């Protein structure tokens, strides 16, 4: 009896020790999350109820006036449309192309490590360098695209197509990251499934849609959610590729770009915070629908 109690006590003590060590290991992450994410969210929501001067000076409580102004601001609606246009192009194309490349580079072939490295290189390149390269490629006077194909297209200065040009850069920039995620998911799929399908006479396309896609669906879902969130937060490409004097700026500026404009250029932190809160709510709603919809096509077993 005493031996049983002693063994139970030792087991409980070991579990308590593991529990404490577990919390100790994740404590830095939790502290960083609270300081860098949770607290700023509450500060932003609080700031959205004020009219502010330069860098928060002269705060005046105005209630929901900023929100009323946002929903009646034509510039906000145009920026929201621009953001959705960018996301509609960047998200599906970056996922589909990355999946195709991952399937091709998952096979045994000469130089596949080199190809993987080349495709992943945009992820390690500095955003400023990426912007400079694409500004040169898209230049309407001496750009490489217009010269090679003998075109006269104003890729980033025509308001009708500038947002689509930015989306092309976004697809190119994130392609390698998505491909690496898909490669890791593909390597977890047992090869026995493909051998069995081949014995049953299934073609490569059938195996792709009936084996690869269902078993890779958790990874696809993860990439989809993260890319939707990332595309809704696009800012750096627009800021570095489109000049302030560019006539296409109105048709390309995103909600995050408007936040930067109002908060740091117009010095109206309260209105800028309101734009961020609206974007946060939109992102949460879209993510919630994705979480609900995953039950119909994501297979975890």
Q: pTM of the full predicted structure?
A: 0.87
What confidence tens digit (pLDDT) does each residue in 161-184 have?
Answer: 999 999 999 999 999 999 999 999
pLDDT at 202 exceeding the cut of 80? no
Tens of pLDDT along 61-102?
888 999 999 999 999 999 999 999 999 999 999 999 999 999
At 11, is the pLDDT very low, low, confident or very high (cuts 50, 70, 90)? low
Tell me what pLDDT residue 252 has: 94
Helix intervals (H) in 106-201: 112-124, 127-137, 144-149, 162-186, 192-199
DSSP single-letter state for residue 52: -
pLDDT of residue 4: 52
Q: Furthest-apart CA pair in the chain: how many Å?
A: 91
Q: Which residues have a Cβ under 8 Å from the Cβ of 227 and sit 6 or more positions away?
A: 90, 91, 94, 95, 174, 178
Q: What stretch of H or E contains 90?
A: helix 74-105
Query: In Å, how far are 118, 139, 165, 170, 175 from 123, measured between CA atoms?
Result: 10, 23, 19, 11, 8
Which bin fits 178, alpha (ψ -120 to 50), beta or left (φ > 0)?
A: alpha
Q: What mean pLDDT comes out for the span 40-47?
A: 92
In this predicted model, what pLDDT tens digit does every residue of 13-26 receive, in sequence order?
Answer: 678 888 888 888 99
In which region does residue 246 sit, left (phi positive, over 0), alpha (psi from -120 to 50) or beta (all else)?
Answer: beta
> Which pLDDT score is estimated for 126?
80
CB 126 within 8 A of CB 118: no
d(CA 138, CA 154): 7
């Amino acid at each position: 009896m005493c031996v049983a109690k002693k063994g139970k006590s030792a087991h409980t003590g070991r579990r308590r020790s593991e529990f404490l060590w577990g919390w100790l290991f994740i404590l830095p992450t939790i502290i960083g999350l609270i300081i860098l994410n949770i607290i700023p969210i509450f500060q932003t929501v609080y700031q959205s109820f004020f009219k502010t001067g330069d860098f928060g000076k002269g705060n005046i409580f105005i209630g929901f006036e900023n929100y009323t102004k946002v929903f009646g601001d034509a510039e906000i609606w145009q920026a929201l449309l621009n953001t959705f246009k960018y996301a509609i192009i960047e998200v599906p194309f970056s996922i589909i192309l990355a999946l195709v490349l991952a399937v091709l580079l998952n096979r045994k072939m000469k130089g596949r490590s080199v190809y993987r490295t080349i495709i992943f290189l945009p992820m390690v390149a500095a955003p400023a360098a990426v912007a400079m390269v694409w500004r040169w490629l898209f230049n309407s006077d001496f750009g490489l695209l217009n010269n090679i194909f003998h075109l006269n297209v104003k890729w980033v200065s025509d308001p009708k197509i500038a947002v689509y040009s930015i989306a092309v850069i976004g697809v190119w920039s994130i392609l390698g990251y998505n491909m690496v995620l898909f490669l890791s998911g593909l390597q977890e799929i047992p090869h026995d499934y493909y051998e069995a399908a081949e014995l049953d006479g299934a073609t490569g396309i059938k195996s792709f849609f009936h084996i690869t896609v269902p078993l890779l669906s958790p990874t696809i879902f993860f990439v989809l959610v993260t890319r939707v969130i990332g595309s809704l937060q696009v800012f750096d490409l627009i800021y570095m590729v489109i000049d302030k004097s560019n006539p296409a700026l109105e048709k390309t500026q995103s909600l995050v770009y408007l936040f930067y404009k109002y908060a740091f250029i117009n010095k109206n932190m309260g209105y800028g915070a309101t734009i961020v809160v609206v974007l946060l709510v939109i992102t949460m709603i879209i993510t919630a629908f994705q979480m609900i919809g995953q039950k119909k096509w994501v297979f975890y077993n």
